[in-house]
Structure 1
Amino acid sequence: MKNKPISTALAFVAIIGISCKREGAVNKGEMDLAMEESYQGTPVSMQYDEKIDSLIAQMTLEEKVGMLHGSSMFATAAVERLGIPEFTMADGPLGVREEISRDSWAPAGWDNDFATYYPAGGGLAATWNPEMAYRFGNSVGAEARARDKDMLLSPAINIIRTPLGGRTYEYFTEDPFLNKKMTVPFVVGVQENDVAVSEKHYAANNQETHRDYVDVQIDERTLREIYLPAFKAAVTEGQAYGFMGAYNKFRGDYLCENEYMLQTVLRDQWGFDGIVVSDWAAVHDTKKALESGTDIEMGTPKPFDEFYFADALIKAVKEGKIEERYVDRAVKRVLQVMFTIKAIDDEGRKKGELSTEKHFQDAYDIASESIVLLKNDGGLLPINLDNIKSVAVIGNNATKKNALGGFGAGVKTKREVTPLEGLKNRLPESVQINYAEGYREGYSENEKAKLGDITLNGPVTLDELDPMLVEEAVNAAKNSDVAIIFAGSNRDYETEASDRASLALPFGQEALIEKVMVANPNTIVVMIAGAPFDLEQISEKSSALVWSWFNGSEGGNALADVLLGDVNPSGKLPWTMPKKLEDSPAHAIDAFPGDSTVVYKEGILVGYRWFDTKEIEPLYPFGYGLSYTEFEFLDVQTDKATYQEDEMIKIDVNVKNIGNITGKETVQVYVSKPNSTVERANKELKGFGKAELKSGETKTISIPIPIKELGYYNVANNSWEVEKGDYHIKVGNSSRNILSNIKITIN
């Protein structure tokens, strides 16, 4: 474990990279680099070594082993006679999971385990705002402490490799740079509450299909440049206390038994000194898993004493097949974390707070900043209420709740505002709301995959529309001044344990949307989903198209505020929306899902890197998102033209709000290397900054990029290398809308 040698306030400022200034203000753009250099910490484990060694010396083999496997669904065993409590865990990507029974998945039935439901990972990433990641982490960390948890099984930060991924809604982004910039402040925010994170799922866990056994084959350069940066940053910058080993294999070995990933990379190269917890039932071999670096085995399919790290481990040690020092090593790591988060000596430990108005405000702020305006022709948005007497609200998603749903972690919450409720909360009483369900969520009883079965097809939907529901929807649209149809997906359809079969909208929604748009040309289409869908026809025919997410307790209020103009949308897509599935890299080259093995043949060309390099036009590009106002980028410049390898590029962009209302814009900096000696993407995101500007206001956004960020991983010498020569600094507001191009040289 490591100390934080700088203050919380300074760490926070450094992490979010305060980089916006008015004329004459102090430029703090160097904070990102300062944080990376100074937020390294010093080991605190030494101050506990004597205590820990003394405790281990007093423990029986059985007591030590009890600390290394689940003794209940989400806790390891206590050693009460030595004052060591259980080590408790909770799922947490959407908020702290409801309490379940100690020996089954059945709800415990408590009346005090309600929690705040936070926006899903895709929504958080769409804010392009590390401050929001910190607030999310800090808020959910406080809730975990209030629920007396030691470890939050979050965040989930695997790269989005395919738009069909069942957990795309939960993961952050397709880009490794954006991924790490959102991960680090999240980690810091959680752990400031004396709660350990569990970075998951380490690593290369990019599909649900065959996830229990598929052997992922990735070349070393792609692994280092695309799939590991956020995990590495969680250790070297965020000082993460915990990792979760993934289900799948990597280069022949299960990831909870993978010495290269757990020892060579994670501990030896990155200096991780926390604990590795297995995903539930992800261990397959006692000796291999323990010796490779897994510390705690969790799972559910059999009695707890039958786990690989339970009676089988005791037997293996007593028979001399496993040296007891490996048990001691794992126990010591667990105790180090427990002492660091004050779980053993809890004097001064944070108490936390649960479901507070402050936390609901955090959820609201993240949600309102995540919503992406995809299209707004004809000025339908924001809705002008001056001449509006009636609004048609159409779609099952107008009333669908997603806090609990699908297979995997959900949240039991007392507050989940739906879109319909949000509009009722925000619209004046003089405006009549005409609601029609429009389509009904339905699945084939004969074909629907059982939750937990790994299948490419996932839940098989019933897509035939009910004529009566369609008629009601069309009539509501005809008899209203404006229609809003809430379509998309839900957490029963996008779910852990299965990937989708296609990009098609489920439940016959596309046909319904077309009928509603014919009935009322003033139709606003709002998609609520976590992953891309085929929206080409809808985008072409609609005048106004909005993308929202599984957006937490306050999602309906945030969405209503965006539609009505009380909030100016500023979300940017954290992934590429393709026109068709075959345009996406893993599908274009038939490299998904594999069978027993999947080879990542697209290499480093993941997401927009593929689309931009191969010159394939997406439906909506990475980083895309409109506003109700307009911005102009002026006087884009670097601080100089030539740099040395140990220096930092300082990019200043004057952003002017040339519209009529206050809004936020995100400056995105991409870098390309012409005439490279190795394969390179057309461009790679290397910096970004977001600022709020009033109408007519100009601000300078300063974005620092360390030269080392421009390196590639040289597999010949297993190190990062920065090529000498010319680079292009490309500044814009999406990967496809580059507004300025500056050449620099690295000597």
Structure 2
Amino acid sequence: MKKENNFDNKIEEIIKCLTLEEKIGMIHGAGLFRTEGVKRLGIKPLKMSDGPMGVRNEFPDNSWVPYGYSDDYVSYLPCNTALASTWNRELAYKEGYVLGNEARGRGKDIILAPGINIIRSPLGGRNFEYMSEDPYLTKEMAVPYIKGVQENDVAVCVKHFAVNNQETERLNVDVVVSDRALREIYFLAFEAAVKEGNAYSIMTAYNKIWDQYCAHNPKLLQEILRDEWGFDGVVISDWSGIHDTKEAAEAGMDIEMSVTYNFDEYFFANPMIHAVEKGIVKEEVIDDKIRNILRLMYRINMFSENRKKGAYNSYENREKTLEIARESIILLKNEENVLPLKEKEIKTIAVIGENADIRHSAGGGSAEIKALYEITPLLGLKMKLGGNTEVKYAKGYTHNEEEREEVLKEAIDIAKKSDAVIFVGGLKHTKEDFELYQNALESTKKEEQLINIDSEGNDKTDMSLPYKQDEVIKELLKVNENTVVVISTGSPVDMSSFADNAKAIIQTSYNGMEGGTALAEVIFGDVNPSGKLPVTIPVKLEDSPAHCLGEFPGKEKVRYDEDIFVGYRYFSTYDVEPLFAFGHGLSYTTFKYNDLKVEVNELEDDVNIKVSLKLTNTGEVSGSEVVQVYINDEKSSVKRPNIELKGFEKIHLEPKETKIVNINLNKNDFAFYNEDKNAWTLESGKFNILVGSSSDNILLKESINLEKDYKF
């Protein structure tokens, strides 16, 4: 990381003036979301807030019950999975900017985002807070997001470092994973966050790696994060993630945060004072932590009178959330051009499904926020159609077993009498559903356990849609074969029972305060869908590599025996056909790929490869396409995936317009991590450059030969 020498001297002067007690106050929570300042020296407390989908509501120092005032309503942003579905780096920057702008507007110094762990299994409870199963897509979206946040004089806190891929036993589970998988899959985005994004802080994960808690792990925090990657920012524990004073202090942890109110008893509080006084921990170790903290404070201008003030609930911020939501919607299937619906031909429309009328902003655990407003799909459709089209709504499904037959009958009756039918289903992450989930786990009635939700604190039990939504969809398709199926989730779910019969399927996620607006615009053609899947949707759970090769969720240990073959890397290499492939997403127009050219320039210490092609919009409406570049190593000393994403560009084209698309690759894109040499290695030989619209739709191919070997 770049060192700003203009304030290094000031930092040393401040450290000399601090007492031990004042230093200790700066390295642990003095409230649930703040540290202690040093008033006599003008050092303010560091104020933090969750989370990735907006600035969380305001809490007292010593209570998890919010104040309940009216001053902490904020813009509700699309979740990270939705953002990654845009495959648009510019929108990633915009979402980060909005989050940072609102965090600063609320007086925060650190926002606990983004979450960039890899989506390893469809069952992960916090998948919606993360971005993708692919490390390259994750890093390409995370870096501009980080820059957007920090432009507002607010620090990101990138989380959760590292291999936090499940909620089950998350506080203690020990992850067993190869160094190669760590480097190629699980570390890549974190390294980019440090080296390219210049992230000012990092949050450690709860779990263990190499038989040691992440928060106590000198190999993870010192050898890799600080020494190898050059991180000189602040390392913050996840709340209650520290279990020992000396171990965490000497491993490279800077600030301890926790969920309890006994702030003076935290490991980095009075116990740390005693440890220093008894010589168990050297005061120089504490000074290093203060250096990192003060450096962060200078970076976000906490000592400046000209610090940016931020703003929240601005019209401009709400506009950006709508822009992101529009591009995050994925058209999975559109047989016979069922979509877009033609508004003038529809006098009555049936909207079926409880998810059409559910607000998600207040759930999900630490991702919950207090949204200024949230436009549901039902509201968005009614706002779009106005008074000339009658919109009839029915829940269609419910958690109450006694009412299921009744609500289904109501839905079918409405569908029969309507010109068009839209089903909106999927998962939820409201607090009420979390309680239902907990009750179901304790119940002996098996049928009550179909309560799968997206939320911190729990993983899903399977991929099924809760409340027998599959049956509702099947019955609606019998009534109207052109029923539009909308699935709203933060993770892949089982669509196998209806995917063949439904002509039109839309995948969406928790798309923020304007999610319903964006969905209505896509359904009726005001917006041409351009989202692409950031994950693979398998036919069944057993097809997922974490479940058929590795373990999920494990017990005391969880073994990542699928190694580097995560997501589409597994499906493509082992010839397992997914239901919908990574990178898949349709449009209301069509695109032609042609004239692929690859130029190779091998240098002494790098390889420069320029990939170019022509992309043409061959349809009748404007639209955007994500051109995806994958590589294939024909012969390697180690087993490699059949395809690996190494480049992409999102291109907007008017009807019949052609643009030349350029994507550059370098040695990093062709290398693998060599465990024998503890280094990245590029072996000379033949490589295939594969260009397509998804991981299973490769449209152009060109082979190249690299003459040199590289180790770095």
Shorter-chain TM range is over 0.9
Q: How do residues 8-157 of structure 1 correspond to structure 2 at under 5 angstroms?
A: 42-44=2-4, 46-157=5-116
Given residue 392 of structure 2, which amino acid in structure 1 is its aligned partner?
N
Given residue 468 of structure 1, which amino acid in structure 2 is its aligned partner?
E
Where does residue 469 of structure 1 map in the other structure?
407
**Distance in 2 between residues matched to 1:707 and 1:740, nearest whole Å:** 21
8 Å CA contact retained: 1:463, 1:508: no
The partner residue of 1:481 within 415, 419, 422 is 419
Where does residue 10 of structure 1 map in the other structure?
none
8 Å CA contact retained: 2:602, 2:608: no
Unaligned segments of structure 2, at least 5 residues: 431-452, 708-712
Given residue 352 of structure 2, which amino acid in structure 1 is its aligned partner?
I
Where does residue 550 of structure 1 map in the other structure?
510
Are residues 1:725 and 2:685 paired? yes
**Distance in 1 between residues matched to 2:655 and 2:225, nearest whole Å:** 48
Are residues 1:710 and 2:670 paired? yes
Higher deviation after alignment, 647-656 or 63-72:
647-656
Where does residue 223 of structure 1 map in the other structure?
182
Are residues 1:619 and 2:557 paired? no
Are residues 1:374 and 2:332 paired? yes
**Distance in 2 between residues matched to 1:69 and 1:328, nearest whole Å:** 14
**Distance in 2 between residues matched to 1:88 and 1:599, nearest whole Å:** 37
The partner residue of 1:186 within 138, 141, 145 is 145
8 Å CA contact retained: 2:249, 2:285: yes
**Distance in 2 between residues matched to 1:179 and 1:387, nearest whole Å:** 42
TM-score for the superposition, normalised by structure 2: 0.95
Where does residue 654 of structure 1 map in the other structure?
614
Structure 1 635/465 Cα, relative in aligned 2: closer, same or farther at 3 Å? Answer: farther
Q: Percent identity?
A: 46
**Distance in 1 between residues matched to 2:9 and 2:20, nearest whole Å:** 19
What are the Cα deviations for residues 623-681 of structure 1, in whole angstroms up to 9, with x where unaligned? Answer: 00000111110111112487776131111121111111001001000001012111100
8 Å CA contact retained: 1:393, 1:483: yes
SS of the aligned residue for 1:743 comes to: strand
Given residue 363 of structure 1, which amino acid in structure 2 is its aligned partner?
T
The partner residue of 1:431 within 359, 378, 389 is 389
Instruction: Tell me the CA shift for residue 409 of structure 1.
Output: 2.4
Given residue 64 of structure 1, which amino acid in structure 2 is its aligned partner?
K
Are residues 1:692 and 2:630 paired? no
**Distance in 1 between residues matched to 2:81 and 2:137, nearest whole Å:** 12
The partner residue of 2:209 within 230, 240, 250 is 250
Where does residue 316 of structure 1 map in the other structure?
275
Where does residue 28 of structure 1 map in the other structure?
none
Cα RMSD over matched residues? 1.2
Are residues 1:390 and 2:348 paired? yes
**Distance in 2 between residues matched to 1:679 and 1:374, nearest whole Å:** 31
Higher deviation after alignment, 46-55 or 86-95:
46-55
What are the Cα deviations for residues 566-624 of structure 1, in whole angstroms up to 9, with x where unaligned? Answer: 00000000000000000000100251111111111111100000000000000000000
**Distance in 2 between residues matched to 1:428 and 1:404, nearest whole Å:** 28
Given residue 587 of structure 2, which amino acid in structure 1 is its aligned partner?
S
8 Å CA contact retained: 2:600, 2:607: no
Instruction: Tell me the CA shift for residue 50 of structure 1.
Output: 2.2
Instruction: Tell me the CA shift for residue 386 of structure 1.
Output: 2.8
Q: How do residues 286-305 of structure 1 correspond to structure 2 at under 5 angstroms?
A: 286-305=245-264
What are the Cα deviations for residues 501-549 of structure 1, in whole angstroms up to 9, with x where unaligned? Answer: 1001001111111111112223101011110000012111111100111
**Distance in 1 between residues matched to 2:149 and 2:47, nearest whole Å:** 15
The partner residue of 1:234 within 190, 193, 201 is 193
Instruction: Tell me the CA shift for residue 250 of structure 1.
Output: 0.4
Instruction: Tell me the CA shift for residue 84 of structure 1.
Output: 0.5
Where does residue 205 of structure 1 map in the other structure?
164
8 Å CA contact retained: 2:11, 2:295: yes
The partner residue of 1:606 within 566, 569, 573 is 566
What are the Cα deviations for residues 151-195 of structure 1, in whole angstroms up to 9, with x where unaligned? Answer: 010000000100100011110000011111001000111111111
Unaligned segments of structure 1, at least 5 residues: 3-41, 443-461
SS of the aligned residue for 1:726 comes to: strand
Are residues 1:347 and 2:275 paired? no
Where does residue 552 of structure 2 map in the other structure?
592
**Distance in 2 between residues matched to 1:563 and 1:152, nearest whole Å:** 34
Instruction: Tell me the CA shift for residue 438 of structure 1.
Output: 1.1
**Distance in 1 between residues matched to 2:65 and 2:211, nearest whole Å:** 35
The partner residue of 2:323 within 350, 353, 365 is 365
Where does residue 577 of structure 1 map in the other structure?
537
SS of the aligned residue for 1:669 comes to: strand
8 Å CA contact retained: 1:392, 1:482: yes
What are the Cα deviations for residues 547-578 of structure 1, in whole angstroms up to 9, with x where unaligned? Answer: 11100010000000000000000000000000
Instruction: Tell me the CA shift for residue 94 of structure 1.
Output: 0.4
What are the Cα deviations for residues 41-79 of structure 1, in whole angstroms up to 9, with x where unaligned? Answer: x310x3222222222222111111010000001000011
SS of the aligned residue for 1:639 comes to: strand
Where does residue 623 of structure 2 map in the other structure?
663
**Distance in 2 between residues matched to 1:665 and 1:522, nearest whole Å:** 26
